[in-house]
Every structure is written in structure tokens, then in C-alpha cells.
Amino acid sequence: MINILTNTYYIFPLPAKAGQIVELDMGCGKGKMALELAERYPDRLILASDIMMGRLGHVERAAARNDLYNILILRATSLALTSFQLPPASIDRIHLLCPDPWPKKRHTGRRVICTDFLCRLSRILKSNGILHLSTDYAPYFDDWEKILATIPFFEPAPEALKDVADIKTDFELHWLKKGIPVRHMAWRYTVKK
């Protein structure tokens, strides 16, 4: 079932069990990462979010075909999810893979990864939660490193991707086929007192 959160202004109650690891594949596309996580980690709750209903329908059908009952499909914008739709401190790891880089200079203001958005992520990440980012657009990757280095509650955590390094999304496979590398990074959310 696809949970429609678009234009709703309440906190969506996650059906996570006490102590259960919750991962969010934000902008999941056809859900390759979310589906692989759900299969690999049946004890975890995997959230697959996107705004495109066709993509979410694909995720829903694939989950049903493979008897994956630990995946929750959310139609929502990334900004709304981080701002108010997900409970505070509810996510252990966020995967935001190959978001639109908006490479034209006049479009850079449309990029999802910016200081404001990263601060919103801190609302939903649990302490020691992981932010996993990837992109095929090298300037965007370099910008992320610069931005994240200025935010005191994020620390580099490359070791946090060892268990998912072999998973390639459809976008990543597309770019790799064209000879364009896709770079990944991971940052740990640390609450400083």
C-alpha cells in the first residue's frame, strides 16, 4: 500500500517496533535500494519515499512479488518528510542517492542538498544516525563536502556504507554504463552537548 503524505500536515506514525532500525530511501525512484535493504535486513523497517506515483507503484508491486513486508511506501516530498511528516529522531540511516543535480548555474537554488535541508535532516535522524549521499555530478559532490564540513553535528563516517556498497540504483547503473562514476559519502549525525 502506498501511503499518500502529500499535502498532509501531521506526523505520520511509523509502525516501528521498539529498538527496530529504520532506514529511509529518500527519492527512491524504482526502489532498488529500498527493496534490496528490505530483503537483506528483514528485521528492519525500510521506508521508500518518492513523489512519483509510477515509481512507487513499481516498488509496491516488487515488494509484493518478493513477500517483503518490512517496507513502507510513502508518497511525499523530501522537504515535507524532514520538516514535519516523520517523527523526530526516528531514522537510523537516510539514503539520498543521485538527486537531481540542477547543474545549470541559474538552477542551483533548486538543489535539495543545502544547509537548510541538512539541518532539517537532523530533526529526523537518531543520534549517531547516518546520512548516505551519492551523485554522478562531481561539482555537486564537492559542494556537499564543503557544506557538511561546516555543520558541527555531522562527522564523516565512510565506514557506515560497507554493508550497502554493492547495491547500485537504476540511476547509478545508468551513469556507470556511460562511464560516469557515481561517488558516495556518509556522514554521522552526532548530537553535541
Catalytic residues: 100
Task: Assess contact for 51 and 75: CB atoms under 8 A.
Answer: yes
Q: How many CB atoms lie within 10 A of CB 75?
A: 17
CB atoms within 10 A of CB 1: 8
Q: Say if residue 72 is exposed, middle or buried (CB neighbours under 10 Å; 0-12, 13-18, 19+).
A: buried
The closest alpha carbon to 191, from 127, 120, 137, belongs to 127
Q: What is the DSSP letter of 85?
A: I
Largest CA distance in the chain: 46
CB atoms within 10 A of CB 53: 13
